[in-house]
Amino acid sequence: MKVGLKFLIIPFFLVVSFCSAQEFRYLNNKLPLETRVEDLLKRMTLEEKAMQMHNATPAVERLKIPAYDWWNEALHGVARAGLATSFPQPIGLAATFNEKGIFEMGTAVSDEARAKHHQFAREGKREIYMGLNFYSPNVNIFRDPRWGRGHETFGEDPYLTGKLSVAFVKSMQGDNPNYFKTITTAKHFAVHSGPEPQRHEFDAKPNERDLWETYLPAFKMLAQDGHVYSFMCAYNRLYGKPCCSDSFLLNDILRKKWNFKGFVATDCGALYDFYMFHKTATDSVEAVAQAIKAGADNQCWGYAKAVIPAIKRGLLKESELDTAVARLLRAKFKLGVFDAESDNPYSKIPYSVVNNKAHQQQALQMARESIVLLKNAKQTLPLKRNLKNIAVIGPNANDAEILLGNYNGEPAHVISPLEGIKNKFSTSNILYAKGCNVIDTPGYDKKSDYDEAIKTAKQAELIVFIGGISPRLEGEDLKVKVPGFLGGDKTNLDLPIVQTELLKELKKLGKPIVLVLLNGSALSINWEEKELDAIVETWYGGEKGGEALADVLAGDYNPAGRLPITFYKSVNDIPKFDDYGMQGRTYRYTTKPVLYPFGYGLSFTKFAYSNLKLSATELNSSKPLKVSLNVHNIGNFDGDEVVQLYIKQFGSTMPIKELKGFTRINLKKGERKMVTFELNAKDIMHYNEATEEMEIIPGKLQLLVGKSSGKAELTADITLK
């Protein structure tokens, strides 16, 4: 009997094991991806599929599907999930003009992302900000300096934005043939660039030329060159249609024209706007149906429970739901969500990488490279090391928090400007006074702060004034209504008057003044440019921003950042904020004199350009054109130079000029290097109104090589065929 019983039991377990393997074929990572997706999809109930539409997807235990939240942030470091390295805000990253640096930063950020995700998973935590899908980069064009979220972007130029975004996405997503390291999300698609108070309801109506030549190119580069695997559709309408229910955007352009293969997520709560503000749907059920049918696959803050009612009402087909769910499952498989950790190479990244010394050093280097020297009269900078007393004054001097911008993590330590200066100039007596608040507000008695600042400054040989604005004033959907700021946007471009008035009082003391700006957008600092000795733009520099500033002030780092935005002389020099046309905006279309042009930035040394050579005088689609020149450091400091290549195509509808190449090089004192650009005809496409397509438009071109968009050092003429 014992033998017989044993004989019966063994086959029973073999049968169970065999059935289990058959039931969960999608767990076999040796099978083709599409086989796994199809196998899992057909096993899911309608309710289980519907719940995949929400950013917070519940576990399905019977199918061994873990809970997963699609919402995570990594704008300039892993955000909102505790310890993480904080790099400069993206507008500062753009000022580096350094694709390689952005790529290396993305590698560090994605290392921390993987390490944190797997640690959370081991602890059984699969909540918001713990997944591997990141709602970044923000590649909207910073078309207007009033927009509060502009500091989340890579600036005003489509080419620079596209190139830096591609570098970030490639490093974040990794190059493993089987697994994504993370999945990045290009946002906000499309034409989403303020005003913030109207972001849930405005209808953007740029002309077709501006849409295709300004608002869409960076997204196209990410889809086709960066192979970004996720897009986020914007809150607003485009030509009357909410972006998240716009099949023209999500299917015709994204999937058909650009051959995008990933998935689309909505901005958070975007479907609510359909029926509350846009009035294109009557309720959440109709909104859900419109979004899924148009190609939006996942809803951040969505209405997963409205999916089945939408099907029952006949507004949505289950097959349309299946298309969306399949895209999401495909992404999960490519992230390794269904596979053992041991099979995923990225699971082996140790948690010890998070905010480690190497990443802190990277943050410091990127902060250094982001700093733009705007003025340096009489070689005020670098500061002399024998200064006995330095007055550090200003509302941003001792505020470490603002260096983190927004969408940030929490580094172990943030070095404020004041701390950085004290550490660097340890043999000098650093005298500090706040001087004033960032802005003047009702009831604020500034006199005592002014008096303290003037008293402090009188004791010093030189004044470093650290001002600017703050991400508490410029940012996303802020509940702010004070002079100069509304809802996160600026209403003028001036430095807050309370700071300029204090600077004028300090100027009367007759001492050298260095103005240090912490801000995320262009400022019309006309008086400051005329009257102060040196001006340094540091943006929101991340955890090492204060140390990077001190390195520049001391001359231990030679600044080479370049402006990724135009600094206008006045808000009156640009069109109305809610005008989405590009005429009169950015270096590509403005005809008025500006304070500082796009691409501008000074150095402690001087560079000479010479010997421009072209491989041909004609450019066509069959062969790229090589452009080479010599750059010579003829000054007294080692330093970086950002060489910029612009084109001017002649024609009434063409931009004034367009960036088509840039490279950041390091030259020792007296050193000479050859710089080479490769110009491709496909990168010089413009909108053809007759065909309604982006095309190569034959004609005459001028090549302009220089240190900014404002002045060409070398020029040459070619023909585009």
Distance CA 669, CA 540 (A): 30
Task: Identify residue 105 by its one-letter amino acid code.
Answer: M
Contact 536, 515 (CB under 8 A): yes
Contact 630, 610 (CB under 8 A): yes
Residue 275 C-alpha from the chain's centroid: 30
Contact 172, 181 (CB under 8 A): yes
Closest CA relative to residue 249, chosen from 213, 294, 183: 294
Distance CA 49, CA 42 (A): 10
Contact 484, 464 (CB under 8 A): no
For domain 43-353, the CATH superfamily is Glycoside hydrolase, family 3, N-terminal domain (3.20.20.300)
Count, residues in the chain: 721
Distance CA 688, CA 46 (A): 46
The maximal CA–CA distance of the chain, rounded, in angstroms, is 108
Given the DSSP bridges, would you call strands 712-720 and 618-619 parallel, antiparallel or unpaired?
parallel
Low-confidence ranges of the chain (pLDDT < 70): 1-23
Two structure tokens written together for 661: 């190449």
- Count CB atoms within 10 A of the CB of residue 622: 7
Residues 6+ apart with CB under 8 A from 71: 55, 56, 128, 129, 131, 133, 135, 268, 300
- Count CB atoms within 10 A of the CB of residue 162: 21
Which sequence spans correspond to the domains of the chain?
A: 43-353, 370-589, 607-720
Two structure tokens written together for 29: 């990572």
List, for residues 410-458, the tens digit of each pLDDT value: 999 999 999 999 999 999 999 999 999 999 999 999 999 999 999 999 9
Question: Phi first, then psi: what are they for 466, rounded to 5°?
Answer: -110, 100
Contact 384, 108 (CB under 8 A): no
Long-range contacts of 592-595 (CB under 8 A, 24+ apart): 592/568, 593/569, 594/566, 594/567, 594/568, 594/569, 594/710, 595/524, 595/525, 595/526, 595/529, 595/567, 595/568, 595/569
Distance CA 601, CA 454 (A): 31
Residue 58 gets which letter from DSSP?
A: P
In 425-535, which residue ranges form alpha helices assigned H by DSSP?
446-458, 497-507, 526-531
Active site residues: 267, 474
Q: Angle at the Cα of 409 (from 408 to 415), degrees rounded to 5?
A: 90
Distance CA 494, CA 61 (A): 57
Where are the strands (E) in 276-417, listed by range? 372-376, 389-393
Distance CA 87, CA 366 (A): 7
For domain 607-720, the CATH superfamily is Immunoglobulins (2.60.40.10)
List, for residues 40-61, the tens digit of each pLDDT value: 999 999 999 999 999 999 999 9
Q: Among the CATH numbers 3.40.920.10, 3.90.1150.10, 3.40.50.2300, 3.40.50.1700, which is that of 370-589?
A: 3.40.50.1700
Contact 554, 424 (CB under 8 A): yes
Question: What was the pLDDT predicted at 701?
Answer: 97
Two structure tokens written together for 527: 């008086």
Question: What was the pLDDT predicted at 373?
Answer: 99
Question: What was the pLDDT predicted at 173?
Answer: 98
Question: What was the pLDDT predicted at 22?
Answer: 52
Distance CA 512, CA 428 (A): 16
Closest CA relative to residue 453, chosen from 428, 436, 430: 436
Q: Which helix (H) or strand (E) holds 108?
A: helix 99-122
Average pLDDT, the chain: 96
Task: Identify residue 108 by its one-letter amino acid code.
Answer: A
